[in-house]
Structure 1
């Protein structure tokens, strides 16, 4: 049976299965902590807000304490799972240049399935919720989301030769994540209200089994593996996957011109600093909505999550339209960063349900910088080093997301009693960092909307691109 070179179905179903339970994770932990700390049943209301009729000072103190404990629980989860996930991500995605992309897709799917089944067991048997921290640690040994997305983006880079096509397909992956996660999120609240926590977890696990079967038996490999004795490094046979990984990352920087290295480092700094600021603020949306004065129900949280995922569709349409019109890619990144700044500032002062829905509007273009920056970096790297590049990006993205989540959760726990919106103002303020790096790239005169060959010549400082004897892709050296 001939396989398919379509990774989009994997990403789409993975997004659906993940976001079917993602909005439930914080809600489940929140409810269990409420029961443990207050020795009362969690208040469930059909009203638009659970705060109605529960505005006593005692209830307010309960909300603040549960908010603090829930944010600390998220902090512990991130701390225990970060390091293993980062190490596995860097090694697997870089190794995929020689060992194949499918390993970076299959292993994270197995880890996610283990985590979902553990959540199902904890919910069904009412086990200690701190078992979820151990489950998160175990699943991180399989790579996690960073490994999965790094492998998928490298897979797309293998298939696309044209720079604009690469940008659009990478933006398309982000759009699929948004669309399918939106469909899942909007149904989550009703699913929870009708069937409790167990059925959504079971449904998600079944979808993940389907994805795993597709990835193993149908998805075609883009990297043709060489025999072990044919892999040569510096003129000698090389058998160590770890050394191959380190060499690939090292060569990505050493084998490039000074101008190319400068631009690449600046783009990476923009990518990571923006990911830190954006990820830290977004990670606390659900907790903020559960807190007073919003006190959203599971139905409203489902609608809010679904509305948030329209950001992916709007960002994809924005990237497509701006790219078609020939807008410089640095300007597209700038618009995305400004979108996050405006959205986070409004979120910090959102005290009503209507305003909390409205703040999603300025965030509509906030995803645009990610696919554009990935495409920009991919175009200045040799085809044989795509895995090393996306290993670095996945490693740094996972690191910044985990660290930002831990930092923002700890800050939220300390500030929730006097100003819950402080973390969103902090997120907006930190966006100044990627803006400064973006200005530096602009001052260098890098016009990444140029023709790919002209851009390669500019970065290499040569009359034309230098061809590697062992690769048909241009090496910017």
Structure 2
């Protein structure tokens, strides 16, 4: 049976299975902590707000304490799983340049399945919730979302020759993540209300098993290994996996021209700083919605998460339309960063259910910078080192995502008593960093365009895998 060169079904099912339980994680921990700290049953009402039913000062103190403990629980979980996940991401995705892309996809699927089954076990037998931190650490040894997406984006880069096609297909992957996660999120509230926590966890585990079977038996490998015993004269000597990882990342910068090296570093800075601000800003949203004065039920949380899918859909349409119309890629990134900053400022002052739903409107273009930046960076790296590139990007993205979640969880725990919306203002303020660096890239790009008038010497791809001045110039167009 001939395999398929399609990672999109994997991404879609992974997003659905993951986000089917992602909104439940904080809610489950929140309810268990409520029971432990108050020795009472968690209050569940059919209306939108629990605050009106429980407006006593003692109840408010319970809310604040549970909010602090839940945010600290998220902090501990993120800290313990960050380092193993980062190391595995960097090693696996860089190794995929010669070992194949499928290993970067299969390993995270196994880790996610372990985490989901552990959650199911803890929920079913009502075990200690701190076992979930141990399962998070264990699953991180198989990689995480960064490993999975790094492998998928490298897989797409192997298949796409045209830069526009690469941008659109990477944007399509981001859109699929958003759409399927939204479908899962809106299902979660009703699922939880009708069947409790166990059935969503079981459904997610079954979806992940199907995904694993597709990745192992149907997905075709894009990196073809040389036949055993054959000698390839024009290929550099093979190194160990760890040495190959460091060499791949090193050669991306060492073999580049000075201008390309600078642009590459600045684009990665934009990518990581924007990811830090965006991920950190959205990480405490569920806790914020559970807190006073919103006090959302699980149904409203599901609707809010589902409404966020329009962000991914509109961002994909925006990238497609702007790319088709020839809008400069830096301008697309600029619009996305401004979209996040405006949405976070509005969220900081959202005190009603309607306003919290309206927050999603100014953030409709917030996902656009991610696929555009990935495509821009990928243009100046040779085809043989796409794995090293996306290993580096996934490492930086996973690092910033985990650190930002930990930082914003601790900030939220410290500020929830006097101003819960402070974390959103912090996120909006941090958007100034990628905006500033984006302006620097625009200036450097103009200089490169002026200097790039003499023909470059002919250099083979193996000798100069990062590209020449023309590659840097194309980034700004």
Name the TM-score class by shorter chain.
Answer: over 0.9
1:285-296 map, 5 Å: 285-296=285-296
Q: Distance in 2 between matches of 1:222 and 1:288?
A: 43
Q: Given the superposition, is the C-alpha separation of residues 442 and 41 from structure 1 closer, same or farther in structure 2, using an over 3 Å criterion?
A: same
What whole-Å deviation, never above 9, does each CA across 1:178-235 have from its counterpart, x for those lacking one?
1111111111000000000000000000000000000000000000113577799998
Q: Distance in 2 between matches of 1:272 and 1:15?
A: 22
Q: Given the superposition, is the C-alpha separation of residues 93 and 461 from structure 1 closer, same or farther in structure 2, using an over 3 Å criterion?
A: farther
2:470 equivalent to 1:475: no
Q: Which residue of 2 aligns with 1:313?
A: 313
Deviation at 1:320, TM superposition (A): 0.4
Q: Which stretches of structure 1, 4 residues or longer, exceed 3 Å deviation after superposition?
A: 227-239, 457-462, 464-467, 469-475
Deviation at 1:163, TM superposition (A): 0.4
Deviation at 1:239, TM superposition (A): 4.2
Question: Which runs of 5 or more structure 2 residues have no equivalent in the other structure?
Answer: 470-477
3-state SS in 2 of match to 1:32: helix
Question: Which runs of 5 or more structure 1 residues have no equivalent in the other structure?
Answer: 448-454
1:261-340 map, 5 Å: 261-340=261-340
Q: Given the superposition, is the C-alpha separation of residues 278 and 322 from structure 1 closer, same or farther in structure 2, using an over 3 Å criterion?
A: same
Q: Which residue of 1 aligns with 2:34?
A: 34
Q: Distance in 1 between matches of 2:65 and 2:17?
A: 31
1:3-82 map, 5 Å: 3-82=3-82
Q: Given the superposition, is the C-alpha separation of residues 413 and 475 from structure 1 closer, same or farther in structure 2, using an over 3 Å criterion?
A: same
Q: Given the superposition, is the C-alpha separation of residues 114 and 260 from structure 1 closer, same or farther in structure 2, using an over 3 Å criterion?
A: same
1:142-181 map, 5 Å: 142-181=142-181
Between 1:24-33 and 1:460-469, the stretch displaced more is 460-469
Deviation at 1:52, TM superposition (A): 1.8
CA RMSD of aligned residues (A): 2.1
Q: Distance in 1 between matches of 2:146 and 2:55?
A: 41
Count of equivalent residues: 469
3-state SS in 2 of match to 1:95: helix
Q: Which residue of 2 aligns with 1:140?
A: 140
3-state SS in 1 of match to 2:445: coil
Deviation at 1:353, TM superposition (A): 0.3
Contact 1:98–1:226 (CA under 8 A) maintained in structure 2: no
Q: TM-score, normalised by structure 2?
A: 0.95
Q: Distance in 2 between matches of 1:131 and 1:382?
A: 44
2:90 equivalent to 1:98: no
Q: Which residue of 2 aligns with 1:127?
A: 127
3-state SS in 2 of match to 1:52: coil
2:433 equivalent to 1:433: yes
Contact 2:382–2:461 (CA under 8 A) maintained in structure 1: no
Deviation at 1:443, TM superposition (A): 1.2
Q: Distance in 2 between matches of 1:376 and 1:101?
A: 21
Q: Which residue of 1 aligns with 2:475?
A: none
Q: Which residue of 1 aligns with 2:186?
A: 186
What whole-Å deviation, never above 9, does each CA across 1:67-86 have from its counterpart, x for those lacking one?
00000000000000000000
Q: TM-score, normalised by structure 1?
A: 0.95
Q: Which residue of 1 aligns with 2:384?
A: 384
3-state SS in 2 of match to 1:44: coil
Q: Given the superposition, is the C-alpha separation of residues 303 and 250 from structure 1 closer, same or farther in structure 2, using an over 3 Å criterion?
A: same
Q: Distance in 2 between matches of 1:140 and 1:358?
A: 35
Deviation at 1:470, TM superposition (A): 4.8
Q: Which residue of 1 aligns with 2:87?
A: 87
Deviation at 1:446, TM superposition (A): 5.0
Q: Given the superposition, is the C-alpha separation of residues 459 and 118 from structure 1 closer, same or farther in structure 2, using an over 3 Å criterion?
A: farther
Deviation at 1:308, TM superposition (A): 1.1
Contact 2:385–2:465 (CA under 8 A) maintained in structure 1: no
Deviation at 1:476, TM superposition (A): 2.7
What whole-Å deviation, never above 9, does each CA across 1:350-382 have from its counterpart, x for those lacking one?
000000000000011000000000000000111
Deviation at 1:139, TM superposition (A): 0.3
Q: Given the superposition, is the C-alpha separation of residues 63 and 459 from structure 1 closer, same or farther in structure 2, using an over 3 Å criterion?
A: farther
Contact 1:96–1:103 (CA under 8 A) maintained in structure 2: yes
Q: Given the superposition, is the C-alpha separation of residues 406 and 160 from structure 1 closer, same or farther in structure 2, using an over 3 Å criterion?
A: same
Q: Given the superposition, is the C-alpha separation of residues 66 and 469 from structure 1 closer, same or farther in structure 2, using an over 3 Å criterion?
A: closer
Contact 1:466–1:474 (CA under 8 A) maintained in structure 2: no
3-state SS in 2 of match to 1:445: helix
Q: Distance in 2 between matches of 1:375 and 1:257?
A: 19
What whole-Å deviation, never above 9, does each CA across 1:264-303 have from its counterpart, x for those lacking one?
0000000000000000011111000000000000000000
What whole-Å deviation, never above 9, does each CA across 1:241-269 have from its counterpart, x for those lacking one?
10011110000100111110000000000
